[in-house]
Chains A and B, each alone.
Chain A
Amino acid sequence: MSSYNLLLVLLMLTAGGYFLGRRRAFAVADASGRGRHILHSRPTYYGSLAALWCALPALAVFCFWRIFESHVITHLVIGGLPPDMQNLPADRLGLVINDIRNLVFGHIVPEEISPAIQAAAAHYTRLKTISHAALAVIVTTFAIVGILWVQKIISPKLRARNHVENTVKYLLIACSTIAIFTTIGIVLSVLYEAIRFFKIVPFHEFVFGLDWSPQMAIRADQVGSSGAFGAIPVFMGTLLISAIAMCVAVPVGLMSAIYLSEYADKRFRAVAKPLLEILAGIPTVVYGFFAALVVAPLIRSAGVSFGLDVSSESALAAGLVMGIMIIPFVSSLSDDVINAVPQSLRDGALGLGSTHSETVRLVVLPAALPGIVGGVLLAVSRAIGETMIVVMAAGLAANMTVNPLKTVTTVTVQIVTLLVGDQEFDSPKTLAAFALGLMLFVITLILNVIALVVVRKYREQYE
């Protein structure tokens, strides 16, 4: 039975359990001869209790089984291989298992297949069938036993509502911990691989190294593949592009926020604000395409006409477009904090005879400054973590330069290039991506925490 069908059957059983539970509650109440109001809870709760007992244990078994199924089967298949194949080194054994899997799932397989592998594949298929059948039986058994058990315990005194509500509450708590598990998952997965990387390449070499060329030699005599992992040029590139982006986004975003919240009338605001937010809704891959297709050639031809040497993947193009992307981010955050400045401050300044712009510059902006700084920090963390624009418009060469017309590379570009395609998880080249990911995560986390603290402190001032 396929997983979909099994889940469908489980769903039907759950629905059936609900109705059976309800009916049973009525039956019990009627049998007592004192009317239905003697039930502790409303009948739907008895039904829900049966449904929960039917679905939850069965689903847990299902998930557990599916997670470990392939591990166990692979292990058993290896156990069934002839001894000479079992004693192969781990990587060769992995290839053999790949062959077996390909054979089982009907993928393309190499021409000559040894009878041992053929037999193993048959073994694999057999085990898989057994496992699926067993799973189907066990899951339905659990579901039915759950229903029957609830049927048995239903009595007018059963506090069904409390049981159901408690279960629901625990389910809610379980859902809310997913956020924590996500964070733990991110930290652990990135940290684990990064530590493996730092065992090969020392930490100080990675953080302070000035040379980045992650191509490792496949053969010993290969040219130009030193495999240097100094991350400084990569971080320099990231900072350069982010700085260009902020140079575009902060003035434009801030000024539009000021105009929209202080000067614009309602009609203008109603039109301009959604238009600005369209910029925020455009997928980054579209910006990347725009940067590579329109902006980069434009900058290049403009630079050439001034006699400048502009790279076709200049940092300027990527940074400029990233700045455009961040404008609505800066403007909506600044808009919020500017609106939060109490009107009395403005009235005071205007009453003393300052013009509107003086009020904004000398009173409103200083009052809103912490919030704006927080917003800008959040924007910086976005710029640093932005991927698609730089993947499509920035280069791969790790140059140490602050010249915006040259090609630079960024952390995210390197992660994508190192990890797209086939990876082997024992080469420093692949692991380096996780080390970069760790740095990226830590840096953005620090920026976010600072930004949140700054914003929170500021809010306390006026409330």
Chain B
Amino acid sequence: MNNHPDTIHTAKTPVAENKKTASVRTMDIVAKGLARRYKAEKRFRLYGLCAIFLSMVFLSILFISIIANGYTAFQQTFVQLDIYLDPDTIDAQALNDANYHAMVKNSLRAMFPEVKTRSHKRKLYGMVSTGAAYQLQDFVRKNQQLIGSVILLWVPADDDVDMLIKGHIPRNVPETERRIKDVQLSWIDRLQEQNRLKKRFNTTFFTAGDSREPELAGILGAVTGSFYTLIVTLLLSFPVGVATAVYLEEFAPKNRWTDIIEVNINNLAAVPSIVYGLLGLAVFLNFFGLPRSVPLVGGFVLTLMTLPTIIIASRAALKSVPPSIREAALGVGASKTQMVVHHVLPLALPGMLTGTIIGMAQALGETAPLLMIGMVAFIVDIPGGFTDPSTVLPVQIFLWADSPERAFLERTSAAIMVLLAFLVTMNAVAVFLRKKFERRW
């Protein structure tokens, strides 16, 4: 605006003539430009608002798409079967030997007696989950007195049926483009008329480990793995992080060595997480020969990764404790260690805890380094300790996201919702701690 060629030209010439008219003219020039400048001002403001608005739009699209895809996973379609517990085939002494698959199949055949051809039979059997037989087995083991009678049992439907009921498989496309065939559609309609199909809360999702069958897959295994991994991370990174921060802030002399440590910590904070995975693979697995896929090693790797975060937050917390506290403690005869342990640490602890929780949230969401140390295996069992093979929640999400089944898509989204719920809780606790114990000196 000032350096606009017109402005310079018209501003220079009048100076030579009359001072009074010149000043009027300058005002005119300014006034002439004002409208344009105010418009530019408004535009600039608008850009800023747009940028924030855009970020919010991204955020809401992200959340909406995940919730829209995932909320249906909290329900699962069940089929009601009448099953005759034939005392001839079930031996009360050897309950595990009975052919429960056959019993489920018999019950389905009895419901649809008109199904005769082999391919139709296979389609019919495919409508209930393979988990039905195991559920039946459990049921019989618990209710042995019912052997010999006909029982009504709700068993999970196959994931394709589930998807159809939830409307993820459209009915009005040609049969060849749909995983549910026309015959199966007619059976499903009949089941619905008889009230033998219903949606229930999907408890399997919260109580089972991973599975190849979407309707039997759950997140408990991954959540347990995450839990063990985080415990290791917390137990190692909190004491070590706090100790490092205390040393650097309170004890360390200002010299080359401490400078090196400081620069190191700042650099480590910005090293890509996957490099920590390479470190874990080369050092913990290859050099020390620790087992693959275990929470212990995962915890080690995540500890190294979160340490810089915790150290930096803890140092900030220590810095915010005013020197007067230290001087007072030293003045009444406390040793330096006593001053730190008795006075400085308690005041800095809330800040350190906040930093630690944020570091833990980071560790909980981290995936890449854990892929490197083999926590990406398909593990059905729920891990029972720090050295059981396991996976973690984000890796489970990654694994499921790769699966082609439509039903895994909604389970992936649901697992993401669970993960985000954990993260939100942790961050909320951190914010609460900060608000509650924040002290201005």
Contact = CB atoms under 8 A, between A and B. Distances in A.
A164 B286 CA distance: 37
B282 A281 contact: no
A355 B367 contact: no
Interface in A183-233: 183, 185-186, 189-190, 192-193
A173 B288 contact: no
A221 B61 CA distance: 50
A84 to B, nearest CB: 26
A178 B240 contact: yes
A191 B304 CA distance: 19
A434 B30 CA distance: 63
A381 B275 CA distance: 13
Interface of A: 67, 70-71, 161, 164-165, 168-169, 171-173, 175-180, 182-183, 185-186, 189-190, 192-193, 251-256, 258-260, 262-263, 272, 275-276, 278-279, 281-290, 292-294, 324, 327-328, 353, 355-358, 360-361, 378, 381-382, 384-388, 391-392, 412, 415-416, 419-420, 425, 433-434, 437, 440-441, 444-445, 448-449, 452
B409 A283 contact: no
A249 to B, nearest CB: 10
Contact of A276 (B55, B409, B427): B55
A327 B56 CA distance: 11
Given A172-B246, A415-B278, A448-B267, A290 B65 contact: yes
Central interface residue in B61, B69, B246, B272, by most chain A CB within 10 Å:
B272
Interface stretch (B41-49, B95-103, B172-180, B432-440): B41-49
Contacts of B94: none
Nearest to B272: A385
A285 B274 contact: no
A272 B261 CA distance: 36
Main secondary structure of the interface of A (DSSP, over half): helix
B309 to A, nearest CB: 12
Given A286-B62, A384-B272, A385-B271, 6 more contacts: A67-B288, A172-B247, A189-B282, A256-B48, A275-B56, A419-B277
Interface residues of B, number: 87
B272 to A, nearest CB: 2
A356 B41 contact: yes
Nearest to B305: A182
Given A263-B45, A387-B274, A445-B271, A420 B244 contact: no
Contact of B365 (A183, A285, A324, A358): A285
B412 A183 contact: no
B275 A190 contact: yes
Main secondary structure of the interface of B (DSSP, over half): helix
A415 B273 CA distance: 12
Contacts of B43: 357
B394 interface: yes
B423 A281 contact: yes
B279 interface: yes
B11 interface: no
B41 A357 contact: yes
Given A282-B62, A425-B286, A289 B272 contact: no
B63 to A, nearest CB: 9
B150 interface: no
Interface string B250-292: 0110000000110011111011111111110111001111000
Nearest to A69: B289
A391 B369 CA distance: 13
B244 A176 contact: yes
A182 B247 contact: no
A186 B279 contact: yes
Contact of A419 (B37, B281, B365): B281
Given A186-B271, A386-B272, A179 B264 contact: yes
B421 to A, nearest CB: 12
Interface in B39-91: 40-41, 43-45, 47-52, 54-56, 58-59, 61-62, 65-66, 69
B15 interface: no
B422 to A, nearest CB: 10
B272 A412 contact: yes
Nearest to B286: A425
Nearest to A378: B270
Contact of B48 (A255, A293, A452): A255
Contacts of A358: 1, 37, 40-41
Contacts of A252: 51, 54-55
Contacts of A272: 52, 56
Nearest to A433: B278
Given A252-B55, A286-B420, A434-B282, A293 B69 contact: yes
A45 to B, nearest CB: 10
Contacts of B409: 293
Contacts of A251: 51
Contacts of B56: 272, 275
Central interface residue in A294, A387, A392, by most chain B CB within 10 Å:
A387
Given A175-B243, A286-B416, A392-B398, A279 B268 contact: no
Contacts of B49: 259
